[in-house]
């Protein structure tokens, strides 16, 4: 087990190093001038010398490899640099933003998982029925739905038309964050969570359905029926036991899509999470923040995949015994 | 032809049969050119009787639909299956409801594949699930394992930890642990080495000791002859002949149907001469006798007419020239 | 495939095949209808897009089935033009992506080092959230039409490449390849004569299935502001404009363009899945 974890951590470090290099190269070839985007519209009022000074301050006058080495050294020490648009350490912003995103993504992940699993079971149990076809069609349509459009629709209907929810922002404007009540926060969270949950259902539902159909057609279900087991007991003892582990594992492995959905959803609802920050960083040419969030998102996805693998190793008896013997 | 009396085999015996199948047929719907639904016949005119303590082998090559027989008797066919004819268990008609009550109880299955064991459940628990008496289930399972020569710790193992022979014995243990009076062994001996095969056959024989009836479905006529009392020859979805074990001797002169004779002669210790051609696919069965296209003694009459079953020399046969 | 399925498989198969063929015909018709709509997007003139402040913000009517925007431009024409643009961007990007996938997967034949480089690259791309890599690449290219096409093209190949690689691996180990090798044929010759023909179904279906994804991602990054510029008639632009009129009750600004985008994506996705089911039934079942 320890060997397994160490191996994974080694892989993560290699991955982060490779991605650092690659994204640094990508960003350094961008036509977006960081000084220009830092100063904004007032660039005309700044002399070329002052510009040079800023460049020197950021180390922009050095060669690209030198810049990278400097940045990489700092990152290795846990210093992701300072954000240009927020004028705060990147790590601070990531922590703050991720906390907000975590509430959104975590809830949506849970809801879509439970709902998707349930829908998948309903469909799989009634394979070929109208209900099954309805669920399948619903999932395929969902898979083609742009997350941001769904968010827009929900926002239009529930917030503007019915007026049940506020339009955007995780907390009311103009109020200090300490004063924002818990109810307020929940109020701003419901629609984004709903959007992200609906979008996330498709994958897990289709997977669960497929697996359940496969299991129900298996020899061991036939045998269990021949032994006189039937109904919910049969489904519980032999069906769910065999499909839940792969389903949970798949759901963990879908952190990438979750993150992508969160980026779009946060943009629509002006939800101050990590997704909104990465969009701002990209649009504003905030290189340190962009790089920081990229690395963080890699760790996030990696964690999901790691959990997916770990579940098998820790729970499935077939894997457990294999790793012990290895 | 018409002068011959049509007497079902079962009526020649006094005792009541455990299982009696008459004119059984099985069909599945098939969608051809678009929306039109037609049925594809997999089994027809099937008949068989099994008496307590008797082992009846149903022998047929693969693809003859014999595995579906097991599902039919247990009532675990796919929902779209359409059945006809009658199945009696201990003299009473088997209805869907009765099948539900009886399976795992009075009728037990030994499945073909070791995949029939749930991969994520310990074997002991899987065997115990067939025992209705909650308190005794552990003891009964242990006894069955012991009788079949399975090591004591086998019940704590997962199926993937067992060898093929052990997994097979676990499946047999399930039937042994049940209170079944009829056991359907659905091809329980595929791909076993000689020694394991002998042991497994012995185990199945053991099962019949408590006056249990066994329906032994197999493609291996050798294995069938080793333990069975009667052999039903299954071909293209029909029973062509039901013969006693003793009839399989010499040149096969006591056998009634040309197909059975051919099977017997195809064995290595006899002529080792295989019959040419293949059995008809389900849905492509000839109008007359099923065996006519491959039969060495077929006539035009066989092409057009279907032979009924008749009793000759204490065995059932379906041939005009038997 | 489980044994029980294989037992009933011959009985189920013909029915399934027929149903699948019928489904394929239906999705073919749907795609044809959509292509017609897209083609008309090129033929429609600019008249409907002329600024007309008198007719601004009118709700859907017979004259303007999708309503009009703040400049009085007809939303239906804008939507159709947007779909046409998305279609071409998606098509081009998916095509480039498929070519990348094919070329990289063929490196498996050249030597081990190159191949492990390719698998490393696949892992690398799959390790970053798709949307983040899209943002990074279009950031590097400074956005715009080319930026979007390249960003989408550079991020969609890994899964297809992985699929093709597995396929090539299988073909590579077959006997006739070994025979060709022994006859002294070069890997290039073998790839051309023995491997490419086998890859074509996978590649074509992979390409068709990639295409709707590419459209969706184009719209997404355009919506976020990294893609097409605001002068271009893109669905992503239309929808991000609609964000500004959310609380005004002008629902038609967002509903119809998004719905049409969804339809286009669904129609092509459906075609790809049905094609896969008919031409590759066993793999189609697993995925």
Give the residue from A98, A25, A103, A17 showing the smallest Cα distance to A65.
A25
Q: Measure CB to CB from residue C142 to each of A18, A31, A263 and give the nearest one.
A: A31
- Is the predicted pLDDT of residue C45 greater than 70, yes or no? no
CB-CB contact of B57 with B218 (8 Å): yes
Confidence of residue A111 (pLDDT cuts 50, 70, 90): very high
Say how far apart CA C278 and CA B245 lie, in whole Å.
49
What is chain A's length?
326
Domain of B27, in residue numbers:
19-106+180-317
Q: What pTM, to 2 d.p., does this model score?
A: 0.81
Q: Is residue B165 part of a domain?
A: no
- Name the more confident of C287 and A124: A124
Looking at the partner chain, which of B30, B68, B78 has a beta carbon nearest the beta carbon of C15? B30
Q: Which CATH architecture has domain C76-286?
A: Orthogonal Bundle (1.10)
pLDDT reported for residue C48: 61
DSSP state of B153: G
Statement: residue C282 has pLDDT above 80: no
Mean pLDDT per 10-residue interval, chain B, length 322 residues: 43 71 83 62 85 89 77 83 86 85 86 85 87 84 86 87 86 87 86 82 85 88 88 86 86 84 82 75 77 84 84 84 76
The alpha helices in C47-195, defined as continuous H runs, are: 75-106, 112-127, 130-141, 144-155, 157-172, 175-182, 187-190
Res A37 pLDDT > 70? no
Beta carbons of C21 and C277 less than 8 angstroms apart: no
- The answer to whether position B288 is within a domain reads yes
Query: Do the chains contact at A228 and B115, CB–CB below 8 Å?
Result: no
Chain A CB contacts of C243 below 8 Å: 152, 268
**Domain contains B146:** no
Contacts A–C by Cβ distance under 8 A: 154
Q: Is the pLDDT of residue C281 over 60?
A: no
Please tell me which residue of chain A has the smallest CA distance to B158. Answer: A317
Asked if A127 has any chain B CB less than 8 Å from its own CB, the reply is no
User: Residue A195 is encoded by which pair of tokens?
Assistant: 């959007």
β-strand partners of B31: B37
Q: Which residues of A touch B118 (CB under 8 A)?
A: 220, 224, 237-238, 241-242
Task: Please tell me the least confidently modeled range out of B10-24, C22-36, C192-206.
Answer: B10-24
The answer to whether position B2 is within a domain reads no
CATH class of A90-325: mainly alpha
Chains that touch C (3 or more CB pairs under 8 A): A, B
This complex has an ipTM of 0.82
**Rounded distance between C-alpha atoms, residue C159 and residue C105, angstroms:** 11
What does each C-alpha distance from A256 to A91, A251, C87, C138 come to in angstroms?
21, 10, 25, 19
Q: CA nearest C5 in B: which residue?
A: B78
How would you list the strands of the sheet with B107-110, edge to edge? B107-110, B182-186, B213-218, B55-59, B230-235, B238-244, B315-317, B310-312
- What is the overall mean pLDDT for chain C? 79
Contact residues on chain C for A18, CB-CB shorter than 8 A: 120, 124
Which of the pair, A161 or B35, is modelled with greater confidence? A161
Put simply, whether B111 touches A (Cβ < 8 Å) is yes
Give the residue on A whose Cα is nearest the Cα of C214: A144
Cβ-based contacts of B115 with chain C (< 8 Å): 2-3
Q: Does A153 touch chain C (CB under 8 A)?
A: yes
CA A124 vs CA B80, B83, C137, C232: distances in Å? 17, 25, 40, 45
The domain ranges of chain C are 76-286
Partner residue facing A220 (CB), from B71, B112, B117 = B117
| Count of domains observed in chain B | 1
As a dihedral over the C-alpha atoms of residue B268, residue B270, residue B272, residue B275, rounded to 10 degrees, the angle is -130
Distance in Å, alpha carbon of A220 to nearest chain C alpha carbon: 9
B30 CB neighbours in chain C (<8 A) are 11, 14-15
The span from the CA of A78 to the CA of A75, in Å, is: 5
In which band, very low, low, confident or very high, does the pLDDT at C286 lie, cut at 50, 70 and 90? very low
Does C218 touch chain A if contact means CB atoms closer than 8 Å? Answer: no
CATH number at residue B273: 3.40.50.300
Sketch the domain layout of chain A as residue ranges: 2-76, 90-325
Q: What is the DSSP string of C36-83?
A: HHHHHHHHS-SGGGS--GGGTTPPP-SSSTT-B-TT--BHHHHHHHHH
CA-based nearest residue to B53, from B189, B227, B187: B227
Q: Do B116 and A228 touch (CB under 8 A)?
A: no
> What does the pLDDT look like over C235-246, one tens digit per residue?
888 888 777 777
Tokens encoding C179: 């025979």
Q: According to the model, what pLDDT value does residue A263 have?
A: 92
Q: Please tell me which chains touch B, using 3 or more CB pairs under 8 Å as the contact test.
A: A, C
A-B Cβ pairs (cutoff 8 Å, strict): 68
With contact defined as 3+ CB pairs under 8 Å, the chains touching A are B, C
| A43-A45-A48 Cα angle (round to 5) | 75
3-state helix, strand, coil in chain A (%, to 5): 80, 0, 20
Do A149 and C2 count as a contact with CB atoms less than 8 A apart? no
Residue B50's H or E segment, with its range, is strand B36-50
Q: CA-based angle A202:C263:A259, to the nearest 5?
A: 40
A contact test, residue of B71, B96, B120, B180 with most A CBs within 10 A: B120
Sign of the C-alpha dihedral computed for residues A319, A4, A211 and C21 taken in this order: negative
% of chain C surpassing 70 pLDDT: 83
Verify whether the Cβ–Cβ distance B111 to A316 is below 8 Å. no
A146 and C262 within 8 Å at the Cβ level: the answer is yes
- Residue A302: its H or E element: helix A287-315
Contact B71, A223 (CB under 8 A): no
Q: Find the CB nearest A26 among C136, C246, C285.
A: C136
Distances (CA, A) of B227 to A197, B168, B198, B208, B217: 61, 17, 10, 10, 12
């Amino acid at each position: 087990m320890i060997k397994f974890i160490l191996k994974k951590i080694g892989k993560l470090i290699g991955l982060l190093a490779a991605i650092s290099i690659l994204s640094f190269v990508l960003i350094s070839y961008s036509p977006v001038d960081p000084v220009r985007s830092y100063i904004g519209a007032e660039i005309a009022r700044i002399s070329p010398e002052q510009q040079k000074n800023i460049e020197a301050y950021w180390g922009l006058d050095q060669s690209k490899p030198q810049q990278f080495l400097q940045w990489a050294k700092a990152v290795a020490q846990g210093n992701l640099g300072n954000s240009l648009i927020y004028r705060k350490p990147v790590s601070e912003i990531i922590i703050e933003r991720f906390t907000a995103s975590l509430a959104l993504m975590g809830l949506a992940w849970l809801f879509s998982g439970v709902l998707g699993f349930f829908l998948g079971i309903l469909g799989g149990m009634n394979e070929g029925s109208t209900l099954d076809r309805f669920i399948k069609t619903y999932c395929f349509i969902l898979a083609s739905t742009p997350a941001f459009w769904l968010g827009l629709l929900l926002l239009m209907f529930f917030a503007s038309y019915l007026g049940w929810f506020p339009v955007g922002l995780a907390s009311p404007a103009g109020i200090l964050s300490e004063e924002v009540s818990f109810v307020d926060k929940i109020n701003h969270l419901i629609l984004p969570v709903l959007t992200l949950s609906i979008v996330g259902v498709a994958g897990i539902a289709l997977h669960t359905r497929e697996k359940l159909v496969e299991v129900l057609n298996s020899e061991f279900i036939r045998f269990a029926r021949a032994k006189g087991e039937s109904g919910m007991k049969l489904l519980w003892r032999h069906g769910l036991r065999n499909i839940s582990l792969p389903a949970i594992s798949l759901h963990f492995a879908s952190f990438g899509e979750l993150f992508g959905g969160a980026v779009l959803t946060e943009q629509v609802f002006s939800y101050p999470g990590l997704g909104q920050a990465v969009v701002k960083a990209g649009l504003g040419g905030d290189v340190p923040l962009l790089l920081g969030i990229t690395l963080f998102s890699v760790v996030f996805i990696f964690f999901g995949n790691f959990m997916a693998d770990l579940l098998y190793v820790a729970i499935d008896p077939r894997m457990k015994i294999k790793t012990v013997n290895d | 032809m018409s002068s011959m009396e049509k007497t079902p085999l079962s009526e020649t015996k006094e005792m009541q049969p455990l299982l009696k199948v008459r004119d059984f047929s099985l069909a599945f719907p098939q969608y051809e050119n678009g929306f039109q639904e037609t049925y594809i016949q997999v089994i027809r005119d099937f008949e068989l009787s099994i008496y307590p303590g008797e082992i009846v082998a149903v022998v047929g090559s693969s693809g003859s639909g014999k595995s579906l027989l097991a599902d039919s008797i247990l009532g675990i066919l796919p929902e779209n299956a359409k059945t006809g004819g009658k199945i009696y268990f201990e003299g009473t008609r088997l209805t869907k409801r009765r099948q539900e009550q009886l399976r795992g109880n009075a009728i037990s299955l030994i499945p073909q594949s070791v995949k029939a064991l749930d991969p994520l459940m310990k074997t002991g628990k899987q065997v115990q699930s067939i025992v209705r008496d909650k308190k005794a289930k552990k003891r009964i399972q242990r006894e069955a394992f012991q009788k079949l020569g399975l090591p004591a710790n086998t019940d704590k193992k997962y199926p993937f930890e067992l060898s093929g022979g052990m997994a097979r014995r676990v499946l047999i243990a399930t039937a042994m642990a049940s209170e079944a009076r009829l056991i359907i062994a659905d091809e329980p001996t595929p791909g076993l080495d000689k020694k394991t095969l002998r042991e497994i056959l012995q185990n199945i024989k053991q099962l019949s000791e408590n006056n249990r009836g066994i329906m032994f479905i197999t493609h291996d006529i050798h294995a069938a002859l080793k333990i069975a009392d009667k052999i039903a020859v299954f071909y293209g979805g029909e029973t062509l002949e039901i013969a006693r074990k003793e009839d399989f001797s010499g040149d096969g002169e006591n056998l009634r149907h040309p197909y059975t004779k051919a099977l017997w002669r195809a064995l290595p210790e006899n002529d080792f001469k295989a019959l040419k051609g293949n059995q008809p696919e389900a849905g492509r069965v000839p109008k007359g006798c099923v065996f006519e296209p491959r039969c060495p003694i077929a006539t035009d009459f066989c092409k057009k007419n279907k032979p009924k079953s008749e009793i000759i020399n204490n065995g059932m046969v379906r041939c005009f020239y038997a | 495939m489980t044994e029980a399925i294989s037992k009933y498989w011959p009985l189920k198969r013909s029915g399934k095949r027929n149903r699948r063929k019928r489904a394929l015909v239906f999705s073919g018709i749907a795609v044809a209808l959509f292509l017609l709509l897209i083609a008309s997007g090129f033929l429609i003139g600019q008249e409907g897009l002329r600024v007309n402040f008198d007719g601004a913000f009118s709700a859907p009517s017979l004259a303007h089935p999708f309503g009009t925007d703040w400049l009085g431009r007809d939303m239906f024409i804008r939507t159709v033009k947007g779909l046409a643009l998305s279609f071409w961007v998606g098509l081009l990007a998916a095509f480039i992506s498929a070519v990348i996938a094919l070329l990289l997967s063929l490196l498996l034949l050249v030597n081990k080092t190159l191949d492990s480089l390719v698998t490393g690259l696949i892992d690398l791309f799959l390790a970053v959230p798709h949307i983040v890599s899209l943002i990074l690449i279009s950031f590097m290219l400074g956005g715009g039409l080319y930026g979007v096409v390249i960003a989408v093209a550079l991020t969609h190949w890994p899964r297809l490449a992985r699929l093709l690689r597995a396929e090539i691996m299988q073909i590579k180990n077959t006997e006739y390849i070994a025979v060709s090798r022994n006859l002294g044929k070069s890997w290039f010759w073998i790839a051309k004569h023995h491997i490419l023909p086998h890859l074509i179904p996978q590649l074509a279906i992979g390409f068709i299935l990639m295409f709707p994804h590419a459209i969706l991602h184009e719209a997404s990054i355009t919506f976020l502001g990294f893609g097409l510029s605001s002068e271009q008639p893109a669905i992503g632009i239309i929808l991000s404009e609609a964000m500004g009129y959310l609380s005004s009750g002008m629902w038609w600004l967002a509903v119809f363009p998004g719905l049409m985008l969804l339809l286009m994506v669904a129609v092509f996705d459906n075609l790809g899945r049905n094609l896969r089911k008919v031409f590759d039934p066993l793999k189609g079942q697993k995925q």
